[in-house]
Chain A
Amino acid sequence: MASIAQPRIHAPALPRPKAAPSGLWSWLTTVDHKRIAVLYGVTAFIFFLVGGLEALLIRAQLTRPENNIVDAQRYNELFTMHGTTMIFLVVMPLSVALFNLVVPLQLGARDVAFPRLNGFSYWTFLAGAAILNIPVLFALPEVFIRIAGVAWTNFFGSGLLTTVKTFFDFWPFPWFNGWPFAQYVPDQGWYGYAPLTERLFSGREIDFWALGLQVLGVASMAGAFNFIVTIINLRAPGMTMMRMPIFSWATLITSILIVMAFPAITIALVLLTFDRFGGTMFYRAFSLVDGTLVTAGGDPMLWQHLFWIFGHPEVYILILPAFGLVSEIIPVFSRKPLFGYAVMVYAIAAIAFLGFGVWVHHMFTTGIGPTPTAAFAAATMLIAIPTGVKILNWAATMWGGSLSFTTAMLFAVGLVSQFVIGGLSGVMHAVVPVDTQHNDSYFVVAHFHYVLFGGSIFALLGALYFYWPKVFGKLLDERLGKLHFWLTFLGFNLTFFPMHFLGLAGMPRRYSTYSFESGWWFWNVIATIGALFIAASVLVFLINVLRTAQSKQEVGPNPWDAGTLEWAIPSPPPVYNFRIIPLVTHRDQLWHDKYDRHQEAHGRPDGLADAIVELDQHPERAAVGVAELEAQAEEGSIHLPNPSYYPLLCGIGIFLLAFGLLINNPHFQLGFFGIPIVSGIGFVLLVTSIYGWSFEPAG
Chain B
Amino acid sequence: MSRFVPRQSDASATARGGRWPRLIPLLALVGVVVLLTGCGPEVAQPYTTITPQNEKTEDIQNLYKITFWASLVVFIGVQAAIAYTALRFRRRNEDRPEQVHGSRKLEIAWTIIPAVILLVLFIPTAQTIFKHAAAAEAEDAFRVDVLGKQWWWEISYPTIPANPDDPGQGPLITANEVILPVGANVVFVLQSNNVIHSFWVPQLSGKTDVMPGHDNRLQFIAEKPGVYWGECAEFCGGSHAWMRFKVKVVPQDEFDAWIAAWRTPPATDGNPDTADVVEAPPAFGACLACHRVSGTNAQIAGQGLPANPGYVEQDGTVVPGPGPNLSLLACRDTIGAGILENTPQNMETWLKRTNEVKEGVYMPNYYDPPEGEGLSDEQIDELVTYLESLKPAEGCPGDNLLVGSEVAPSDVEALDPDQVTGDASP
Interface residues of A (CB under 8 A from B): 71-73, 76, 188-189, 193, 195-196, 199-204, 284-286, 288, 291-293, 295, 298-301, 334-337, 339-343, 365-367, 369-370, 373-374, 377-378, 381-382, 384-385, 388-389, 391-393, 395-396, 398-405, 413, 416-417, 420-421, 424-425, 427-428, 430-441, 486, 489-490, 493-494, 497-498, 501, 503-515, 517-523, 526, 595
Evaluate contact between B107 and A340: CB separation under 8 angstroms.
Answer: yes
Evaluate contact between B195 and A366: CB separation under 8 angstroms.
Answer: no
With both beta carbons as reference points, the residue of chain A lying nearest to B205 in the complex is identified as A436
Stretch at the interface among B247-255, B282-290, B303-311: B303-311
Query: Does B43 sit within 8 A of A, measured CB to CB?
Result: yes
- Give residues 314-345 of B contacting A (CB, 8 Å): 314, 319, 338
Query: Does B281 sit within 8 A of A, measured CB to CB?
Result: no
A328 to B307, CA, bound (A): 61
Evaluate contact between B360 and A72: CB separation under 8 angstroms.
Answer: yes
23 example contacts (A-B, Cβ-Cβ < 8 A) are as follows A285-B213, A293-B193, A295-B213, A335-B91, A340-B101, A343-B102, A377-B125, A385-B115, A389-B110, A395-B82, A396-B106, A398-B82, A398-B85, A399-B4, A425-B71, A433-B132, A433-B206, A434-B60, A437-B60, A506-B231, A518-B229, A522-B40, A523-B40
User: Which residue in B90, B122, B195 is a CB contact (below 8 Å) of A403?
Assistant: B90
A335 to B97, CA, bound (A): 7
Evaluate contact between A374 and B314: CB separation under 8 angstroms.
Answer: no
Chain B 21-45 interface mask (CB, 8 Å, partner A; 1/0):
0000100010011001000110111
With both beta carbons as reference points, the residue of chain A lying nearest to B315 in the complex is identified as A666
Evaluate contact between B125 and A432: CB separation under 8 angstroms.
Answer: yes
Evaluate contact between B49 and A506: CB separation under 8 angstroms.
Answer: yes
Q: A199 with B314: in contact, given A510-B235, A512-B240, A519-B43 (CB under 8 Å)?
A: yes
A379 to B22, CA, bound (A): 41
Evaluate contact between B36 and A498: CB separation under 8 angstroms.
Answer: yes
Q: A402 with B91: in contact, given A336-B100, A395-B81, A519-B45 (CB under 8 Å)?
A: yes
A454 to B85, CA, bound (A): 20
Task: Write the nearest CB–CB distance from A558 to chain B, whole angstroms.
Answer: 15
User: Which residue in A339, A505, A523 is a CB contact (below 8 Å) of B100?
Assistant: A339
Evaluate contact between A286 and B193: CB separation under 8 angstroms.
Answer: yes
A342 to B239, CA, bound (A): 51
Stretch at the interface among B178-186, B196-204, B268-276, B384-392: B196-204
Evaluate contact between A336 and B121: CB separation under 8 angstroms.
Answer: no
Task: Write the nearest CB–CB distance from A547 to chain B, whole angstroms.
Answer: 22
A335 to B133, CA, bound (A): 54
Cβ–Cβ < 8 Å partners of B106 in chain A: 392, 396
Cβ–Cβ < 8 Å partners of B103 in chain A: 339-340, 396
Cβ–Cβ < 8 Å partners of B81 in chain A: 395
Cβ–Cβ < 8 Å partners of A298 in chain B: 213
With both beta carbons as reference points, the residue of chain A lying nearest to B236 in the complex is identified as A196
Known: A378-B126, A504-B50. 14 other contacts (CB 8 A): A195-B212, A196-B236, A201-B194, A286-B193, A291-B306, A367-B209, A402-B89, A413-B82, A413-B86, A432-B129, A486-B25, A490-B32, A508-B231, A523-B40
A407 to B373, CA, bound (A): 67
A511 to B232, CA, bound (A): 10
A525 to B128, CA, bound (A): 36
Could you tell me how many residues of chain B have their Cβ less than 8 Å away from some Cβ of chain A?
A: 109
With both beta carbons as reference points, the residue of chain B lying nearest to A518 in the complex is identified as B47
Task: Write the nearest CB–CB distance from A325 to chain B, whole angstroms.
Answer: 18
Q: A505 with B49: in contact, given A367-B217, A377-B129 (CB under 8 Å)?
A: yes
Task: Write the nearest CB–CB distance from A413 to chain B, whole angstroms.
Answer: 6
Cβ–Cβ < 8 Å partners of A416 in chain B: 82
Cβ–Cβ < 8 Å partners of B102 in chain A: 339-343, 393
Evaluate contact between A437 and B97: CB separation under 8 angstroms.
Answer: no
Report, nearest first, the 4 A-B pairs whose CB atoms are least far apart: A436-B206, A506-B47, A285-B213, A367-B216
Cβ–Cβ < 8 Å partners of A188 in chain B: 235, 237
Task: Write the nearest CB–CB distance from B336 to chain A, whole angstroms.
Answer: 12
User: Which residue in B36, B49, B308 is a CB contact (below 8 Å) of A292?
Assistant: B308
Q: A504 with B49: in contact, given A193-B234, A432-B129, A489-B29 (CB under 8 Å)?
A: yes
